[in-house]
Structure 1
Amino acid sequence: MTSLIERGLWRHPGDAVLAEVIPWFESPLVFVSGPEQMEFESQSMDMFADDPHRAFFREARGSTSTGPLELPWLDVEQAVLIAVNRNPGDDIALALDYRTDPTDPRVVGSDFWTNPCMCEWRVAAPTFSAFAARLGL
């Protein structure tokens, strides 16, 4: 990720390419441009994880969970948002999920289409490197 950002290659590949790579993801996204913006966007996860109604977004803190925190839940302490909703209010995102690998994390996406009553975080790619390759980045 850092290398792509530094070389100016971390950019949205177009809606058609993204739809090929993540066919179940139905709403448009914008890619978060750099580390500062990723940190800013990821702060929203803290709000949802601390909300008593967090089950809707399925975001929690692994350090305070009573058991293992696995998909369809997102551990906000081990995730960074890399793409967010293009349309205000959609509350959708793609995140790096470091629970699987600290150097090449999986990419997960928020799925509100399978069950509109709550979010289910799903695997968009098993690793970030595979995701970037499939996007042609």
Structure 2
Amino acid sequence: MKYYLSILLTLCCLLSPSANASQTCDAECQLPQIHAYFKALDKVSQSGSSEQDVDDFLGLLHPNVNYIHLEYGANFDRASWRSAFIRNIARGAYQQPKEQRVLNYIVGKNHVAVEYAHGSIQPDGQWQQEQPLLVLFGFTDGKISLVKELW
């Protein structure tokens, strides 16, 4: 009886969330964060956005997030990415009402490849998609820690 009790106790300890501190972030964890990322980014990218919108957006991400855009040569940590957003807001770069939507995704271990597109809402209420784009998200400690634009 003691043997079975010790096995049961061991299994309970191994399967408890607190014992498994290095849990991975699976699709159920990743996809809502990706949708929240695009929603918050849309808010930052609108006319009239504020530093608070930028801080709210960055608050969704891992403290050590890294943003890379190969085509533009961008390689930002959190602080430099924030500065870039604030500069863009100050110079009036965000004027056109665009909405980004996820079109497709492939989930991997701690990464998700996402096909998405910018678009605009037409007078009839339909979303008009622009060219599809590709971004790779990486996850650390259950939060987005890498955003790598591949377009």
Q: TM-score, with normalisation over the residues of structure 1? A: 0.27
**Relative to total residues, which structure has the larger strand share, 1 or 2?**
2
Q: TM-score, with normalisation over the residues of structure 2? A: 0.25
